[in-house]
């Protein structure tokens, strides 16, 4: 059976499974739609959290960015992993004990203010739409290559799939769909990694193969990659080029941004007990660690395979995978010196993205590229988001492995997109409509409003997927920065600082959000030419500015709180009640 048929079969089977689960677990009440009636088993919730957490950025883009920038890419690995530990240990159990549906609901009640709740809703929408743009972009990339459709059409197909199981099933449907998606995702990630680790190093454990010698030699894998990189004019793979301050700020932004991500926090509201929230956090960490400890090895294998395969190779002799990714618009070559070989060296091969006409080729078969930059010798453009997906093809693995990686990439993107879209819809229906604009609507009307809001959110997410502000991991990094600058201080102070009042929390959230969003927009959209270390504030890039926004949030919140009245006594008692262990095994009050 040919590879394309296997792809259609395996991807089609996973889609049928997701839709079947959505129909089976259709939400019939707001409690089921928002938090799955708080009846999810800790192991299942841990698996669903892993799927929700390991987005297209983790599955598709993290190893890709490490492949291209080497050591500097480890900030994503450290920040996201450390951030989950921070969330699981310091925030999740307390929020579960509070017993509400959404993060804006916690903010509104803890800070005894509908204004605070509205500000939190705005933060949720900003963060979630920024994050979901990366997921829809990931969906488009996978569809464009494996189903042989245009990236934009791939985004539309992904929108349709998410619409069915997110709008129909709500949190109940999404939870059990994400359990299935985690299984698909982790098998899809690990099987190629194990195959390629054995091929390159002879070790079947990728984490150990990463530090092993190349099969048949005494040369360590990383030493070989450093040598290959230097020969082609790239910096050593194990060297970093980012300033230490920027590395620190990006890592912290990713860590604390993780702890403020509403779609991950809400997962801990779906278990029956506070103790179950802690258990599910532990299970989720185990499930997440399987992929995250493998990612550096996958990145290294992919880079070695790419350099060995395409550098100075004759275009006409390359295997079919190269043209397949060309057809998807994610790989391009231009023969600048006319020798029919691919010179892959340091430097930007082309200005902008490759644009080609499938019928218009050069003498050696290369695509016609717009805005070709001839000032350097690099003839190859590679979209870094394809590295994990293309790796099995480059390594010439069996067709069923390639089909599995396609299903895994889609599972990663769709699982997180569904969680984000649910958070957006619940914030609009529950926190904006039910709690503010239309408090007298019935439960049935609220559920309908949530589904309509989810449908609208999917449409907006699709637009951002078609017009993304960067590659997947970078777009997601912006979302984490916004979460770090807005939610994290409000949640942390709300749990551990009794004196924090509504004036301080609102001022801090607005300051952090406006500053961070403005900084990102300026350097990425208004004046991208100025996006260089010389122009950054204290040398901090847009990816790391969320840490600075968080510090501003803390400072403004604490100062304003000291200058204004203390919160009511019952709120201070509420904070004590959240923090002090009391009957952890008993169900908590709430919705």
Question: Can you spell out the DSSP letters for 185-228?
Answer: HHHHHHHHHHHHHHHHHS-S-HHHHTTSBPTTSS-BHHHHHHHH
**Nearest alpha carbon to residue 579 among 454, 516, 460, 492:** 492
- The first and second tokens of residue 109, run together, are 């009640």
Residue % of the chain over a pLDDT of 90: 5
> Could you tell me the CA-to-CA distances from 399 to 319, 386, 404, 501 in Å, in that order?
14, 17, 9, 59
* Residue spans per domain, the chain: 14-302+398-482, 331-382
Question: Can you spell out the DSSP letters for 10-33?
Answer: HHHHHHHHHHHHHHHT---SHHHH
CB distance 121 to 428 below 8 Å: yes
CATH 3.40.630.30 fits 14-302+398-482, yes or no: no
**Tens of pLDDT, residues 521-541:** 888 778 878 888 888 888 888
Unique residue bearing structure tokens 């048949």? 216
> What local confidence, expressed as pLDDT, does residue 476 receive?
63
Label residue 435 left, alpha or beta by phi (over 0 means left) and psi (-120 to 50 means alpha): alpha
- The first and second tokens of residue 405, run together, are 């990686």
Task: Compute the C-alpha angle 491/129/155, nearest 5°.
Answer: 145
- pLDDT at residue 259 tops 60: yes
Question: 225: Cβ–Cβ under 8 A, 6 or more apart, which residues?
Answer: 237, 300, 303, 304, 307
Residue 591 pLDDT class (50, 70, 90 cuts): very low
Residue 100 pLDDT class (50, 70, 90 cuts): low
Which residues on adjacent β-strands are paired with residue 429? none
> What local confidence, expressed as pLDDT, does residue 470 receive?
53
CB distance 465 to 135 below 8 Å: yes
> What local confidence, expressed as pLDDT, does residue 563 receive?
93
**Tens of pLDDT, residues 360-391:** 455 455 554 554 545 577 888 887 778 888 88
- pLDDT at residue 5 tops 80: yes
Give the whole-angstrom CA distance, residue 222 versus residue 212: 9
- The first and second tokens of residue 445, run together, are 């009307």
> What local confidence, expressed as pLDDT, does residue 586 receive?
44
Question: 349: Cβ–Cβ under 8 A, 6 or more apart, which residues?
Answer: 332, 334, 373, 376, 378, 379, 380, 381
> What local confidence, expressed as pLDDT, does residue 562 receive?
92
- pLDDT at residue 515 tops 90: yes
> Could you tell me the CA-to-CA distances from 420 to 108, 124, 263, 414, 425 in Å, in that order?
20, 9, 5, 10, 9
- pLDDT at residue 487 tops 50: yes
Question: Can you spell out the DSSP letters for 226-284?
Answer: HHHHHHTTPPPTT---S-HHHHHHHHHHHHHHHHT-HHHHGGGGSSSBHHHHHHHHHHH
DSSP structural state of residue 483: H
Label residue 381 left, alpha or beta by phi (over 0 means left) and psi (-120 to 50 means alpha): beta
Please compute the mean of the pLDDT values over residues 238-246 and round it to a whole number: 78
Higher pLDDT, 138 or 325: 325
Question: 324: Cβ–Cβ under 8 A, 6 or more apart, which residues?
Answer: 145, 393
- pLDDT at residue 568 tops 60: yes
> What local confidence, expressed as pLDDT, does residue 411 receive?
80
**Tens of pLDDT, residues 409-448:** 878 777 777 777 777 777 777 767 776 677 777 777 777 7
Give the whole-angstrom CA distance, residue 421 versus residue 163: 9
Radius of gyration from C-alpha coordinates of the chain: 24
Mark out the alpha helices in 497-588 (DSSP H runs). 502-521, 545-563, 569-579
- pLDDT at residue 556 tops 60: yes
Tell me the average pLDDT of the chain.
78
Neighbour count for residue 562 (Cβ, 10 Å): 12
Of 286-290, 321-325, 355-359, the one with minimum mean pLDDT is: 355-359
> What local confidence, expressed as pLDDT, does residue 375 receive?
58
Please compute the mean of the pLDDT values over residues 540-546 and round it to a whole number: 87
């Amino acid at each position: 059976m040919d590879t394309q048929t296997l792809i259609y079969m395996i991807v089609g089977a996973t889609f049928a499974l997701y839709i079947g689960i959505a129909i089976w677990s259709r939400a019939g009440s707001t409690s089921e739609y928002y938090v799955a009636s708080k009846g999810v088993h800790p192991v299942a919730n841990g698996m669903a959290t892993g799927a929700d957490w390991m987005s297209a950025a983790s599955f598709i883009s993290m190893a890709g960015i490490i492949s291209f920038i080497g050591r500097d890419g480890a900030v994503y690995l450290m920040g996201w992993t450390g951030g989950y530990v921070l969330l699981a240990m310091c925030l999740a159990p307390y929020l579960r004990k509070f017993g509400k549906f959404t993060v804006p609901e916690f903010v509104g009640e803890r800070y005894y203010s509908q204004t605070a709740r509205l500000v939190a809703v705005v933060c949720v929408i900003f963060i979630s739409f920024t994050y979901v743009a990366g997921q829809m972009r990931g969906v488009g990339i996978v569809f464009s290559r494996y189903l042989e459709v245009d990236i934009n059409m791939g985004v539309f197909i992904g929108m349709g799939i998410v619409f069915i199981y997110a709008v129909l099933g709500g949190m109940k449907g999404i939870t059990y769909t994400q359990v299935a998606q985690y299984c698909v995702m982790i098998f899809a990630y690990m099987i190629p990694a194990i195959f390629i680790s054995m091929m390159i190093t002879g070790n079947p454990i990728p984490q150990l193969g990463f530090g092993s010698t190349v099969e048949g030699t005494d040369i360590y894998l990383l030493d070989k990659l450093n040598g290959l990189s230097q020969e082609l004019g790239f910096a050593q793979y194990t060297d970093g080029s980012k300033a230490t301050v920027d590395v620190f700020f990006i890592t912290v932004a990713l860590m604390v941004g993780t702890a403020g991500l509403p779609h991950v926090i809400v997962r801990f509201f779906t278990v029956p007990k506070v103790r179950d929230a802690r258990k599910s956090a532990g299970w989720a960490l185990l499930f997440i660690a399987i992929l995250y400890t493998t990612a550096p090895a996958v990145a290294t294998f992919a880079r070695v395979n790419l350099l060995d395969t395409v550098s100075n190779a004759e275009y006409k002799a390359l295997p079919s995978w190269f043209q397949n990714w060309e057809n998807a618009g994610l790989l391009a070559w231009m023969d600048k010196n006319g020798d029919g070989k691919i010179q892959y060296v340091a430097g930007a091969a082309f200005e902008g993205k490759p644009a080609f006409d499938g019928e218009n080729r050069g003498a050696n078969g290369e695509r016609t590229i717009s805005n070709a930059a001839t000032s350097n010798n690099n003839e190859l453009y590679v979209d870094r988001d394809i590295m994990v997906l293309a790796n099995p093809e480059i390594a010439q693995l069996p067709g069923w492995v390639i089909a599995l990686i396609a299903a895994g990439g889609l599972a990663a993107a769709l699982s997180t997109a569904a969680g984000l879209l649910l958070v957006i819809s619940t914030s609009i229906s529950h926190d904006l409509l039910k709690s503010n604009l239309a408090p007298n609507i019935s439960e049935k009307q609220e559920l309908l409003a949530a589904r309509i809001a989810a449908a609208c959110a999917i449409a907006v997410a699709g637009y951002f997927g078609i017009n993304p502000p960067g590659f997947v991991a970078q777009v997601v990094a912006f979302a984490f920065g916004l979460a770090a600058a807005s939610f994290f201080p409000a949640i942390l102070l709300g749990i551990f600082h009794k004196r924090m009042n509504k004036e301080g929390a609102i001022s801090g959230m607005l300051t952090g959000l406006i500053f961070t969003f403005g900084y990102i927009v300026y350097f990425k959209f208004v004046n991208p030419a100025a996006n260089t270390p010389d122009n950054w504030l204290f040398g901090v890039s847009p990816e790391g500015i969320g840490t600075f926004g968080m510090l501003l949030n803390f400072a403004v919140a604490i100062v304003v709180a000291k200058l204004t009245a203390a919160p009511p006594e019952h709120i201070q008692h509420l904070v004590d009640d959240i923090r002090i262990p009391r009957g952890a095994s008993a169900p908590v009050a709430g919705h």
